[in-house]
Each structure stands twice: as C-alpha cells, then as structure tokens.
Structure 1
Amino acid sequence: MTLNIKQRFAVVGIYLSLILGIGYYFSQDWKFLFDTSNHLNVILIVVALSLVFGVYISEPFFTKPIDVISKWITILLFLIGLNSNDCMLLYNYWLIASFVFICSGLLLVLFQNNNRFEKQQRIAIDFICKISRPEIIFTLLYFTVVISFFQYKPVEFPILIGFGFLLAINKPIVWVVKFATKLFTNITSKSDLSKFIGQVIGHESEDLYRVEIPFDNPFRQKTLKGELVYLENIKNGVVGIVLSERILLGKKWLEIISLRDANKNLISFDISSTLPLTGGKSIFSKTNAVFQLDVSALSEELKVTLGSNNIRKNFKNLIGIVWEGSTINKIKFNKLFSADLQDERKIGEGSIIQTTIAKEEVLYQIIDGRTDEENLEFKDTHGYIIGTAQKIGKYFIEEKELNTVKWLPEIYTPIFLLKVTEEEYNANEYIGKLPNTNYGIPIKKPHELVTHNTAILGILGIGKSCLTFEILKKLLATTDVKIFCIDLTNQYTKELPKYFASNIIQIDFAPVRLAALKAGNVDGHPDNPSTWGNEALYRTTIKNEIETFINSDKRVLTINPDMHNVSKAGSAFKITHKTELSPAEKARIISERLIVKAASLGETSDARFLIVFEEAHSLVPEWNSVSNAGDVSATNGTAKVILQGRKYGLGSLVITQRTANISKSILNQCNTIFALRVFDDTGKQFLENYIGSEYSNLLPTLEERHCIAIGKAMKLKQPVILQLNDKNEIEL
C-alpha cells in the first residue's frame, strides 16, 4: 500500500460516509447505528467498519500475534452477542475458528522466548498472521453475514454484495483519493517555480540543513545532487543547493546549503513576484518546506546573483565541508564527492584543496583520511569519510610563494578542489609544483641550499639523483658556487653533461697527479708509520687539486674516492703491512682541505663551495654502521667541517637511500629536506621531527616524482608535498 497517513484517513472517511449512507437509505433513519438487533447494524457498523479500520488504520502493513488475538476476540464477542445466531451460516465454524486462533495466539505469545522450537514458531506466526489479516477474515465474515440475513431481500442484497466487493478490491476509492490529492496539491501550490521535495528535519548551522523526502514523493527516484532548491520562508524563497543524498531502508535525506551573495546575505526572492529581497537573517520558516527551483522563471538580476555565487559556479570541484575537530593548522572535512570520481578529480594524499578564512582563499593539502558513521534514525547508520588537510597558506602568483594566513575557517564552510590555473609553468624556474596544479615552488634562496645544508632522502630508484642534478643545475645558474661531487658510483660523470655544459665539468683529479699518488704508495720502516702508504701525499694532492679547480673556469668537480690509491700504516708499532683508507676517511680529508681553503678566503654569507655526498651512508656513516673504527673518527671530522663551514660559505648536499645508516649529526645540520618515498622506520622516525607524524606516515605511499619538502631555502614554513619536475623538462 502506497498511501500516506492522510490519504488513509481520507479513504476511511469515504467508506464511513458510504456505510452511513447505505444504512440510512435502507432504514430511513439513524436508529440502525445503535440498534444491535438490526441486521444493518451488524453488517455495516460491526463488520464493515472493523474491516475498514483494520485495513487502513490499525494494520495497514503487517499483523502481529497480539493483533490476531484481539481481532478473534472481537469476532467471538460479536458471535456470542448475535441475536439471531441460529440464522447465521457457518456459525459453529466461526466459533471454533475463533477459539483456535485465540488459543494459538496466546500460546505463541507465551512461548515467544523459547528457542527450542524457534523455526516452528516462526512458521506458525507467519501462518496465523497472514490468515488473520483484516482484509481476509472481516471480508469473509462480511459476506457470511450478508448471505445469512439478506439473501432473500432483492434490493438490499445486491447493494450490500456490491459494497462488499468494493471493500475487498478497494482500488476505486484509493484511486479517487490519490487523484484528489494530486489535484489539490497542484491547485494549492504557491509557486509555479518549483515542485515540492520535502521538509527540513534538522540543521547544523544557519546555512546547512537536512531535508527528508516523503515516501511517495517522485523526487525519491531522482538524483538531486547539485540541483538548486529553495526553502519556503513565509513569503520568501531562500535559495540553496543540494550537497549530498543519503538513502537507507527506504528513506532519503538531502543535505542542502544556502547560497549567499557577495555581501554574505542570503539569496532569496519573493515567491509571488520573484523580486530579489535584501537582508534575510534566518532560513527557517513555519512550514520548512523545500521546493525545486526553476532558474528560468527568476528575474535577470537574481540570475546574475546566482551565476556569480562561488558554490554554484564551482560546484563540480566541491569535495566537502569543514567538519568538527578542525584546528588552526589542520582542518577536518566531510567528503561529499562520489567514489567513482576519485581518479577523475585526483583526490588523495597531496591533493590541494581550497576554502575561505575571513573572505580570503586559503590552500590546504590533504594528508590523511578515516571512515566514520552517523545515526540517521533509530539504529540506521550512514558511513562517510572524514579527511584531514594541512594548511599551507595562500599562494601569491607574482611572488611565487606560499604565505601564512591566520586563524581557521568557520565550520561547514564549503571546500573545493583547487582548479588547475592557466598560469604557464616553466620547470627551469621551479623545483616542483603543488600536485595537479601550475602553482610552482621555486628555490627562493639558492645560497641557503649550500650554507644551511640540504638532504635528499629516499629509496633506491625513486629519483634522488635526478633531483640532485636539477638542484646543481639551478645552483650553477643562480650562484657562483664551486661544486665538489664525491661520487662512489661514477654516475655523475655520465649524467651531469645531460643537465649543463660539459666544459664546466672536471672529471676527478689530473691523471698525472693520480699517477704520482699511486707511485707514492710505498712500504716504509717497521717503526715509522709516516713512511708507510701515501696519506700525506694524498692531502697535498687534494690541496693542489682544489687550488687548481678553484682558479679555473670549471664549476663542477667529480671525485670518486674508490679510484684513489691511498693507504696508511696497518699498525702503530712493528708495522708489516698497509691498509687502504675507507671512503669515509677520504671524504674527511677532502672536507678538511676544503674548509681550510674556505677559511683562507674569509667569512661570507654567500655560497662558495658545495660538497655533494652521493651514497652518503658510505661516506658519513652512523657510528653503529661503520666497517672499521677509523670511520667513526672520520665521520666526526666531516661533521665538524659541515658544522663550521656555514660562516665560510661551505655547505653540503647529502643524498642517501638508507637514512638509518647515515650520521645523524650531519643530517641534523640540514635545514632543507627533500623526502621521497621511504619505507624504513628509522627514516620515518627521523623525518617525523622535521615534517610531523602525519606527513611521515605518507612517505611509504608517495607517488613517483613526488616528495615532501620543507626548508628555509624555499621559504616553506611547513612541509608540503610537491610534484617534482619531469626529467625531460630539465635536461638540456
């Protein structure tokens, strides 16, 4: 049955009128209403009325065992009180049926908590409830009484039989009621602009409210997200837009937000004249009725106002609203976009979203999400997603940087996915951009990449070297720095010419000096360690090579310590053999020669020399990762150079794939960090001190060519996920 409660009462009213009319027609007075000896009273008042009230009022949907008992007791009392029971057909059978169903119902109620015969109880309950439906038993009783008392009355019999069939099939009356309801609704509609959708049942704020669509409303079958509606507010229509739809157990709810003009006034109109109104402090009226809005019927002025509303014109990028639990630095948002749009809209970790703080557009970056649920009605729940986004500030296109915006957005403020701008993006000007945008992040202070040290961390094959070469290219273009690349892989020799001119690159030391170094690697006196190996000659060679390189027009020197034949005495006394210097020990000697040269040039705030530690876990290992005791001292010596080098314009670029195995004394000196995909817990825990736990938890899932960047050189006051430049964009 698809009638609502008002329609069911209307049907009962029609049947009641027919019952009274038939009774008055045959008896010519109203005494039959109270005369129990009158057969019309028996059939119309007792039987027909019970049938009507049972079908449309008391049990319109289903029958319970307790209803079975009450109905059969009513029938039993009717049979016992019948004056002419000897004239009634099947009288004894009706008595027996009454006792059987009453006793059955009582037994089922008595043993309802007995699990022993649970299956049999369900079958029995289903049987007696279906048999005892009012449209079955009262219809049978009605026809039994009519045939028993009126079969020999030529006028009453056909009319009462016909009325009985009308009761049984009931469709004509139902159709009349539905038709009248539809006609009445159309006639009494206050506006041709819309159609009735539902009623407001709750609101979270002045602008955000929830609407329930009635069971029989045709809008239940339509998709309304993004549709314009209006709330009837006495004589005004307050315009809103449907944010989301929720369906559960046959019910449908809408979440609607009111639209406001440029002055933050509610957009509203006069329902009768559609003239725009001003002001408007509240959206809630006495009726709380919501209607679909036909924009074409509005005034031109109102159309322009609606067209300029940010929510409406940018609705396809709307992804949610600010939710409870938001803070100054992070916001929570209730996701409204559909799951099937996720790939299309690029929603996920790192996505840039936009909302408003005191009329100012502010950017946030999604860093986390969780599922949750809410109670819709009784025990019905609705699942949804709550996202977390970090405030990154407002992007100024001319300055090409993110600036801080204070405070936080109001709760339920709409949030949009940042639209891709038409701004031209030149990879040579930026180190990367905000994901899926053209908002580039440049290196604002290239000198501080050197003087304040930089680290690039990430697993093997994730793009660390490519990022390193790009940074070196940008440093060469913006500073006068001389770069010393300590590279154990020989990768720099092959790859650097792809990024800048090869004529500014020097490949290792001069061959003649390397040959002399090899020739000087000799055995010495057993009691004199200084006569063994060529460590002293190596220091002199490095000093001379540094002087030559600095005084040349070369800008980059690649050094592979593994190719340098350097050794020292194997013991302090009674020496019998030499030992090779480890890469960490050679890196220390190179670093110490460089700071001596930098100090001789005096103090400066500009970048002079940059030491690139490729495979830094081998060049400056952590104390628990060294291969020999000498590496501990060597790493400490290199760390001392990095610590003191800033005032002389000396700095380092540390690249490693194993954060756990690199000296933390050196990493802690790195003011600018580029963190690519990392899996090890040590690396995540170390980076957590720089970027926070939310961002460190994202490290294992970072996409290719993405990193989490933070640092003074880029003027980033908080960590940001960047989409790095493609290799093809930065190679020559």
Structure 2
Amino acid sequence: MTEKKGRTVATIVYLLALAAIQWWIVGQGFPLNEKLLWFANGFASLILGSRLLNPHFTPPADVATNSFVAGGTLIAAVAANPPDYIDQAIIWAAFTVCTMCFLFALLILLVKRTHGLETRPWVLALERVVRAIGAPNNIFTFVILVLAWVFHRQSTNELFAILTAWTIIVGLNPVEALIQHLGWIFGKFTRGQVEILGVVAAHQAPGLVLIRQDDDIRHASGTLMAISDDQGPTTLGVALNYVGRDDGILLRALSLPVPTALKAKTTAATVGHGAATLLSLEAPEAQEVKVLEKISSLCGIVDSDSDLEFIQIEVINDRELSEGRLVEVRLRDADVIYQVIDGVTREEAVQQKNKYGYVRAKARKIGKWNADEGKFEPIEWLPRINAPVFVKNTDEFVHNATAVGHFPGTDYQVSIDISDAVTHNTAILGILGIGKSYLSIELVERMIAADIKVICLDLTDQYATLLAEFIDDAYQDEVTTALTNAANGRPVAQGKDEGGSIHAFNETVKDRLAQFLSPETEQSILVFNPAGFRVSKQVTNAYQGAAAFADLTPSEITAIFSSAALKACQDMGMIDRARACLIYEEAHSLVPEWNSVASDGDKNATAASARAILQGRKFGLGCLLITQRTANVTKTILNQCNSIFAMRTFDDTGKEFLGNYIGTEYARVLPSLKERHAVFFGKASSCDDPVLIRLNDRQNFVGSFREQQPDEANDD
C-alpha cells in the first residue's frame, strides 16, 4: 500500500473514531451548538490537514489557510457566548495567536524571494516560526485544547474522551504504525515483487556507488533506487550514467541520505546484502528529494584536482554545456555559480579492467548571487568531490538597463560603472566584425547620460554616423570649421620651431575644448577625424623666405587633442568622478607602440597622449581605447586601462598581454569567442573576477536604457 493510500485509510479510521466519541460521549449525536465545535475543527482541520494536505511540511500559503480556519472556529466559539469572562478571554487570546499567524504568513508570501534566492535572516526566521505554529498538528491541537477547556471541562467523561483521542491520534499515530508494520510483513512474503536493479560493486566515496546490473536494461539519469549497505544505513540512490562492464553493465549513482518522509518506503523496498532496488515515488514524495528538482539540468559531478578558484567537472550530460555557460554547485548551504571555460577528454579505470572515458570541464568560480545588489559575492571555499553540478538556465532573458551584458544562457547580468570605466580607462580589444563598435557606441551613450563629455577621435568616420542623434550638427560644424581654418596655411618663420600652422591649431584646439568641457556648454559630444586636418609644421629653418614643411600625422594631432583635454580638465580642478572621455578608435594608428611608428614625431606624440591619460584621472579625464591590433598599441596607455573587454582575437601577442589581465584560462578561449561575446574584467565591472558575457544587442539596449533616460538623447 502506498503512503498516500495509507494516510487516506488512517483518515477514515480516525474520522469514524471521532464520530463515535461525538455521538455516544460528547454530544449525544451531532447537535448544532458548541458541543460540535471540537469535532468539526478536529475532522475538517487537524485530520485532513495533517494526514492528507500537509503530511510532511507546511508552506506559508497553507499556514495562512490553517490559521484562517482555526480563527473561524474560535469566532464560532465566541458566538456560543460562554458565560465566564475568563473563558472569553482565553478564546480571544487564542484568536489573536491565529490572527498573527495568518498575517505573518501573508507577509512572508509578499516579501519572500523566489527560486531559492532568499537569504535574509529575518525572513527565514519568521518563516520557520510561522511554519511551526501553523502546522496542522500544532495550531488545531491548540484550538482543540481551548475548546475542550471552555466547553467540556464540566464533564469529566467528555474531557477525558477528547484529550485521550487527541493524544493517541496526534502523538502515537496508531493506524499509520499498524499499516506500516503490515506493509513490512506483506513485503517480506512478497519480496519477489520488489524490482532489484543490481548489486553494489563498489563505493567511490564520498557519495558515489557502482551498481552491477545483470540485465541490459538502461535506466535514465535521475532514476531513484534504494541502496542497502551491510556496513551502514540504507541510502537513496540517484542514477547518473553507465561507466563500463565486466560481468554486467555498471551503473553509477549518487548516494544521498534518505529524507525522513521516505524512510518507511525506502526500508520497505530494501532487500539487504548490498543490493539496489528500484524506488517508485509519487509526485509529492519526489519533492522530498531536492536533487530531483533540478535533475533535468544535471550536467556532471565535481571531479578531483579542483581548487579554491576552479572546479573540474566530470561531465555526465553535455547537451547544454558550452564555453561561458554557468553551472551551479552546492557549497555550505549556498548555491555557488561557476563559469565553464575549458574542457578536455580523460580516461580512468572504473573497476578491474573497465575503462571509463569522459569529458572533463573546467569552470571558474564566479560566486554567490546577491539578488539585492544584483551582483555576485565571493565564496571562500570549494565544494566536496562528487557533488552534483547543474547547468543554469532561464526561459527568457529580460534586459536590464544597467547591464552591459549577461552570462550566456541565463538571466544573470553584469553591470558597468561608467564613471569608473572612464576615470580608470577602458579598452575594447578584438578583431574586425565582432561588435566592438556597437559596444563602444553603447558606452558612449551611457557616458552622455551620466553627463560625461565625449571627445571622439575616429579615423573611420563611423562614429559620426552611429552617434548622429547625439551630435549637435551646428555646434560640430562650427568647431570643425574653426579647427580647419586654424590648420590651413604654411606660415614661414625664421626658426623652424615657430613656423607652420601647428601653433595656431594647437591654441584653437585648447580654446575650443575648454569651451566644450565647460559645464555651461550643453553639447555632450564632439567627433573628429585626426586625418582630416592638414596641420603643417616647419621642418627646416627659413632661407630666403622659404622653408620645408611636413603635415602632422594622426598620432601628432591626437596628442594635441589629448593634451588640450587634460589642460581644460586641470583648469576646472580635481574631481572624484568622470568629467570627460577621450575615445581612441583605431588606437593602433592614433597611439601606436614605439616599434610600430615610422618617425620620432609619432613616438613623441604617443608619449604626450600617454602623459595626458596618466595624469587625467584625478581631474576626471580618461579614455576608451578600441583596437584590433593589441600588439601595435602603446602599452603605456594600455597598461592604464583598468577595465578590459576582450573579444575574439588570434594573435599570440594580444593573447599573451590579455593573459596577464584576465588569466591564461580565459585568454585561451578568445580565438573561439562568438560574435557579441567578450571577457569582461576590471574596476568598472560588477563582478570581482573576469567573466565571459554575452554583450547587449543594440536594439534591446536602446529600448531599455532610453526608457529610463528619456531626456538624455537629442532628438533630431
């Protein structure tokens, strides 16, 4: 007989017993008065609640129901109008307890977080207390005692019958015990009906058991079994996978403690002598096995060689695994998230001559999710070996305006502090066509929304189009025209250092950038192509009124803009947040590495730009550097980029450089990164460690971000 059927039989027996007591002892029938309250409360609430509705645990919703019904019974008791004021006070006190239990249960339902993310101690403590009070055996026994005292204490027979019945039913559970014993006896005589899965071949402690089957039936992952052990208690087994065969196929199973509610059923299914028998559970019973709630997402178990930073995962089901996917493992009563970054194949001996080949994944610890702050917190330990590992999934990703991306396949999002991204400098590194420009455009829009002025130096002229809705065309044209006019001409001076248009251009840039960066200026962005200005410098002393000239390179013009931006920010004083950002698009051409330049002029210019960036942080000036050639960008600036978006790249120099920032494990995955994916790390990230994220799609970002920033974008 199943446990549910046994509880139903017990309910019927108890009902008949209570009805007999009510008919012959208490009420001489079923009168519609206070003599019937104890029976109605006992049958409708305690018996049905504790035997059928909440046999094992009582969720807050059922606590609210129980306390409401109990309170209603007490209101009926008040309506009976007991003459004694003390009795009335007792009833009202009991009603107050039920009311408080009802209200607190509703409060928990309103404030408790879902998906197992509740960590607030006051919520957990309150829920524990409410569940204890609102369990059917507790709250209705309390009400029965109140009713027995108020309405039946004058009759010794009535009081004795009620209290004796409740003591036996609640304390001893005689019918359930009898049914369980009869089931055990029946099982002994019908043992052949128990389906034996196999015998225990070996224990791979901790928590793994090898079971040798004599048949060729394959049991699915998650199949439940009872595993007897001659050296210890019976355990609950959860099938994992098949790992080899000698005299029979070998099934590997997780060995778990048996939940209290399943001990009777597990014991009845046990045959002893190290055997494993199939265990069939009904849906409510299966809820007692927590691992079954996520069995469909079980991907493996923690393998050897794991450490505080990484875990090795013996992969059992790789259907949803890929680089960057998040996995979850239980550690010290907390669900800790790791990110898969590598995988290898392995082979090991299982038993005797059996070999077991499998894939082993490597995952880096991300931390425990803090739902309040929307970020991961560090956990300073590692899970036990053979602990089950589950893939994290979500049905639908909902974009968050503060997030720059999310972990692939989940709704865990990674946010960026745009002020820190500017003041501590940010680099976007990767090959062509993988989404660098759209990411930089998103960051620029975040800067504009945060009142950070943007000076974009772009050799591609792409930003003028992508950022057109933020650019004041009249103001842009005015500034560009002034700079172009200052750049024109080749005035000759006796000494070569005084000749050319470089001096007029430099002064005009200083004046215009100082005006632009002033808080009084409403415009937020200026875009320039350094290659579009033909600025001359005199390279020889004058002879007979003539001299040789050369045009400034993009690197030299970039240095002029960088130095002018620093000067303007310095004149406004120190600040603890971002004030202005220089964007170096195609940075390998604007601030090249010393061994990638064609002249000493570019070396000096790059050094000048680097000085501006090095000194700019305390004045609110920083840079966003975008390049596809990491090796050709000056490391003086690149080393100052505290935040890095590393996208797909192939060159060894770039991977070696990035390995110092994000770790060699993440650097190895860079050549295989998908489009719109990046390894993000740095001060501006909401995560303390490097993480592989799926970047925002432009349309989703615009839709969510601008909804919160309706006035930040300029309407054309």
Q: Per the shorter chain, which TM-score range?
A: 0.5 to 0.7
User: What are the superposed Cα offsets for residues 127-162 of structure 1, whole Å, 9 maximum, x if unpaired?
Assistant: xxxxxxxxxxxxxxxxxxxxxxxxxxxxxxxxxxxx
Q: What is the rounded CA distance, in whole Å, between the counterparts of 1:305 and 1:589 in structure 2? A: 74
* 1:430 aligned onto 2:398: no
Q: What is the rounded CA distance, in whole Å, between the counterparts of 2:266 and 2:604 in structure 1? A: 85
- Hey, what does 1:463 align to over in structure 2? 435
Contact 2:470 2:524 in 1 (8 A): no
Q: What is the rounded CA distance, in whole Å, between the counterparts of 2:601 and 2:675 in structure 1? A: 38
* 1:382 aligned onto 2:382: no
- Hey, what does 1:399 align to over in structure 2? 373
Residue among 279, 283, 293 paired with 1:293: 279
User: What are the superposed Cα offsets for residues 207-241 of structure 1, whole Å, 9 maximum, x if unpaired?
Assistant: 31111112xx3xx2333432111113479753211
Residue type of the partner of 2:308?
A: I
Q: What is the rounded CA distance, in whole Å, between the counterparts of 1:728 and 1:669 in structure 2? A: 31
What secondary structure is seen at the aligned counterpart in 2 of 1:522? coil
- Hey, what does 2:290 align to over in structure 1? 310
Residue among 602, 608, 615 paired with 1:637: 608
Contact 1:674 1:710 in 2 (8 A): yes
What secondary structure is seen at the aligned counterpart in 1 of 2:684? helix
Residue type of the partner of 2:201?
A: I
- Hey, what does 1:627 align to over in structure 2? 598
Contact 1:446 1:713 in 2 (8 A): yes
Contact 1:504 1:555 in 2 (8 A): no
TM-score for the superposition, normalised by structure 1: 0.66
- Hey, what does 1:693 align to over in structure 2? 664
Alignment of 1:231-630 (within 5 A): 231-233=227-229, 237-248=234-245, 251-260=248-257, 268-269=263-264, 287-296=273-282, 304=284, 306-337=286-317, 342=319, 345=320, 347-420=321-394, 425-443=398-416, 445-477=417-449, 479-497=450-468, 501-503=470-472, 507=476, 510-519=479-488, 521-525=489-493, 527-550=494-517, 551-571=520-540, 576-630=547-601
- Hey, what does 2:645 align to over in structure 1? 674
Larger Rg: 1
Q: What is the rounded CA distance, in whole Å, between the counterparts of 1:291 and 1:562 in structure 2? A: 78
Contact 2:202 2:210 in 1 (8 A): yes
What is the Cα deviation at residue 516 of structure 1?
A: 2.4
Residue type of the partner of 1:316?
A: S
What secondary structure is seen at the aligned counterpart in 2 of 1:712? coil
- Hey, what does 1:87 align to over in structure 2? none
Alignment of 1:105-124 (within 5 A): none
What is the Cα deviation at residue 322 of structure 1?
A: 0.7
What secondary structure is seen at the aligned counterpart in 1 of 2:314? strand
What secondary structure is seen at the aligned counterpart in 1 of 2:348? strand
Residue type of the partner of 2:371?
A: I
Alignment of 1:135-154 (within 5 A): none
Residue type of the partner of 1:408?
A: L
User: What are the superposed Cα offsets for residues 393-431 of structure 1, whole Å, 9 maximum, x if unpaired?
Assistant: 012223111111111111111000013166x62243210
Contact 2:414 2:686 in 1 (8 A): no
Q: 1:203 to 1:522 in 2, by over 3 A?
A: same
The percentage of counterpart residues that share the same residue type is: 34
- Hey, what does 1:207 align to over in structure 2? 207
Q: 1:568 to 1:380 in 2, by over 3 A?
A: same
Q: 1:227 to 1:266 in 2, by over 3 A?
A: same
What secondary structure is seen at the aligned counterpart in 1 of 2:242? strand
Q: What is the rounded CA distance, in whole Å, between the counterparts of 1:266 and 1:372 in structure 2? A: 39
Residue type of the partner of 2:467?
A: L
What is the Cα deviation at residue 659 of structure 1?
A: 0.0
Contact 1:427 1:729 in 2 (8 A): no
What is the Cα deviation at residue 528 of structure 1?
A: 1.8
What is the Cα deviation at residue 505 of structure 1?
A: 9.2
Q: What is the rounded CA distance, in whole Å, between the counterparts of 1:711 and 1:267 in structure 2? A: 49
- Name structure 2 gaps, 5 residues minimum: 1-185, 704-716
Q: What is the rounded CA distance, in whole Å, between the counterparts of 1:266 and 1:322 in structure 2? A: 28
- Hey, what does 2:680 align to over in structure 1? 709
Q: What is the rounded CA distance, in whole Å, between the counterparts of 2:673 and 2:440 in structure 1? A: 18
- Hey, what does 1:20 align to over in structure 2? none
Using the TM superposition, name which of 527-536 and 453-462 deviates more: 527-536
Using the TM superposition, name which of 188-197 and 462-471 deviates more: 188-197
Q: What is the rounded CA distance, in whole Å, between the counterparts of 1:628 and 1:187 in structure 2? A: 93
What secondary structure is seen at the aligned counterpart in 2 of 1:327? coil
Q: 1:603 to 1:319 in 2, by over 3 A?
A: same
Q: 1:192 to 1:268 in 2, by over 3 A?
A: farther
Using the TM superposition, name which of 685-694 and 245-254 deviates more: 245-254
Contact 1:225 1:245 in 2 (8 A): no
Q: What is the rounded CA distance, in whole Å, between the counterparts of 1:595 and 1:380 in structure 2? A: 69
Alignment of 1:159-170 (within 5 A): none
Contact 1:236 1:270 in 2 (8 A): no
Residue type of the partner of 2:442?
A: E
Q: 1:451 to 1:486 in 2, by over 3 A?
A: same
What is the Cα deviation at residue 506 of structure 1?
A: 5.1
What secondary structure is seen at the aligned counterpart in 2 of 1:558? strand
Contact 2:235 2:257 in 1 (8 A): no
Q: 1:189 to 1:626 in 2, by over 3 A?
A: farther
User: What are the superposed Cα offsets for residues 255-279 of structure 1, whole Å, 9 maximum, x if unpaired?
Assistant: 11123467xx7953366757xxxxx
What secondary structure is seen at the aligned counterpart in 2 of 1:428? coil
Root mean square deviation, CA, Å = 2.6
Q: What is the rounded CA distance, in whole Å, between the counterparts of 1:452 and 1:246 in structure 2? A: 52
What is the Cα deviation at residue 577 of structure 1?
A: 1.5
Q: What is the rounded CA distance, in whole Å, between the counterparts of 1:505 and 1:654 in structure 2? A: 27
What secondary structure is seen at the aligned counterpart in 2 of 1:456? strand
Q: Kindly tell me the number of residue pairs found equivalent between the two proteins.
A: 513
- Name structure 1 gaps, 5 residues minimum: 1-185, 275-282, 297-302
- Hey, what does 2:49 align to over in structure 1? none
Q: 1:370 to 1:515 in 2, by over 3 A?
A: closer
What is the Cα deviation at residue 245 of structure 1?
A: 1.4
Contact 1:334 1:385 in 2 (8 A): yes
Using the TM superposition, name which of 305-314 and 403-412 deviates more: 305-314
Contact 2:491 2:501 in 1 (8 A): no
What secondary structure is seen at the aligned counterpart in 2 of 1:507? helix
Q: 1:254 to 1:273 in 2, by over 3 A?
A: closer
Contact 1:238 1:266 in 2 (8 A): no
What is the Cα deviation at residue 246 of structure 1?
A: 2.9
Residue type of the partner of 1:441?
A: V
Q: What is the rounded CA distance, in whole Å, between the counterparts of 1:504 and 1:403 in structure 2? A: 45
Residue type of the partner of 1:634?
A: A
Q: What is the rounded CA distance, in whole Å, between the counterparts of 1:269 and 1:383 in structure 2? A: 38
Q: What is the rounded CA distance, in whole Å, between the counterparts of 2:193 and 2:419 in structure 1? A: 65
- Hey, what does 1:139 align to over in structure 2? none
